């Protein structure tokens, strides 16, 4: 098992790493990477909002959920 692992690591280091390094330095690839990094906080916040929107029923008595639903109604109605 150890010899196979060492062989695989050597192949990755010798063959794959230089190619990946050259591809990773392309301006188009770095632009896509930077765009995803910039958008990531919005995707995380949006995913939490989706969980809150679709996991709360309209008949809930939980205070936070009631406030959240009232806030959403105000946004949608305006």
pLDDT tens figures, 15-62: 999 999 999 899 999 999 999 999 999 999 999 888 777 777 778 788
Residue 63 has pLDDT above 70, yes or no: yes
- Residue 1: pLDDT band (50, 70, 90) is low
Q: How many domains does the chain have?
A: 1
**CA-to-CA dists, residue 77 to 10, 33, 48, 68, angstroms:** 61, 37, 22, 14
pLDDT at residue number 5: 93
Compute the distance between CA of residue 21 and CA of residue 72 in angstroms, rounded to an integer.
Answer: 46
Range of the domain at 60: 2-77
**CA-to-CA dists, residue 74 to 27, 31, 36, 63, 71, angstroms:** 43, 38, 31, 17, 5
């Amino acid at each position: 098992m150890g010899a196979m692992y060492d062989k695989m690591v050597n192949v990755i280091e010798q063959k794959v790493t230089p190619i990946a390094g050259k591809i990773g330095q392309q301006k188009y690839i770095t632009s896509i990477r930077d765009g995803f990094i910039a958008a990531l906080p919005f995707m995380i916040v949006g995913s939490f909002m989706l969980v809150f929107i679709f996991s709360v029923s309209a008949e809930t008595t939980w205070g936070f959920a009631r406030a959240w639903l009232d806030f959403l109604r105000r946004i949608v109605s305006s």
